[in-house]
C-alpha cells in the first residue's frame, strides 16, 4: 500500500516537472519571437532613416550648388567669338569694372590682336581688352580703359590667346560715368556694342 502511494506520488511529481518544463519552453519561444519582431521592426526602420539622410544630403548639395553666372549682355562677332558681360559695377573709387567671358566658337586659335586698340601706347598690352571702351550715349562721352603710368591697361591680358572651343574670363576698368548715368554700351574690336546697365558696388 505504501509502495503504491509512493509510485503515484513520484508519477505526479514527474508530470508536474514535465508540465513546468513545457511552460518554460513555450515562454522562452515567445520571448525569442518578441526579440525577432523588435529586430525586424528596427531593420525595417533603418532603410527609411537612411533614405531620409540621403534626402537631407541631396538638399544640402542642391543648396550648395553654385548659381549660374548672370548675363547682362551677349554679342557675337568676329572669328566666331562670343562675348558675354556678366557684371558691370560702379565702385566708390570713381571707376567701373566690367567683367564676363569670351568663348572661341571657331576652329582656329584666336589671339585678340585687334582688341588691344590702335593707340601706340597700348601696343605693349599684347592680346588684351585694352582697346575696349564704354559709350555714354546720353552724355555723349566715350570712356577708355584705365591704364597705369607705363601704359599697361587695367584689364585682362589673354596670355597665349584663346583656343578653339575654349571659354575664358575677362575684365576691364573704366572711369565712372556721372552718377545719373546707369546705361552704357561696351564695345571692343570689331564686336557689336553690348548695351549694359551699371549697378552700384557694396
Mean pLDDT by 10 residues, the chain (202 residues): 47 48 45 48 48 52 55 92 96 93 95 84 83 93 92 89 94 94 94 94 69
Distance CA 27, CA 97 (A): 82
- Widest pairwise Cα distance in the chain: 140
**CA–CA distance, 71 with 157 (Å, rounded to integer):** 22
Query: Which residues contact residue 179 at a Cβ distance below 8 angstroms, ignoring those fewer than 6 apart?
Result: none
pLDDT score recorded for residue 202: 64
Amino acid at each position: 500500500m505504501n509502495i503504491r502511494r509512493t509510485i503515484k506520488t513520484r508519477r505526479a511529481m514527474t508530470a508536474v516537472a514535465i508540465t513546468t518544463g513545457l511552460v518554460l519552453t513555450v515562454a522562452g519561444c515567445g520571448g525569442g519571437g518578441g526579440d525577432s519582431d523588435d529586430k525586424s521592426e528596427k531593420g525595417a526602420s533603418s532603410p527609411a532613416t537612411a533614405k531620409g539622410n540621403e534626402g537631407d544630403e541631396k538638399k544640402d548639395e542642391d543648396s550648395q550648388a553654385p548659381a549660374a553666372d548672370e548675363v547682362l549682355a551677349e554679342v557675337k562677332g568676329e572669328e566666331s567669338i562670343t562675348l558675354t558681360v556678366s557684371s558691370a559695377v560702379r565702385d566708390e573709387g570713381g571707376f567701373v569694372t566690367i567683367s564676363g567671358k569670351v568663348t572661341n566658337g571657331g576652329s582656329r586659335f584666336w589671339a585678340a590682336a585687334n582688341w588691344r586698340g590702335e593707340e601706340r601706347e597700348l601696343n605693349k598690352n599684347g592680346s588684351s581688352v585694352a582697346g575696349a571702351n564704354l559709350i555714354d550715349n546720353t552724355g555723349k562721352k566715350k570712356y577708355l580703359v584705365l591704364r597705369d603710368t607705363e601704359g599697361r591697361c587695367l584689364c585682362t591680358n589673354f596670355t597665349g590667346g584663346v583656343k578653339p572651343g575654349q571659354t575664358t574670363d575677362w575684365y576691364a576698368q573704366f572711369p565712372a560715368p556721372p552718377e545719373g548715368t546707369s546705361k552704357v554700351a561696351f564695345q571692343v574690336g570689331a564686336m557689336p556694342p553690348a548695351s549694359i546697365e551699371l549697378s552700384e558696388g557694396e
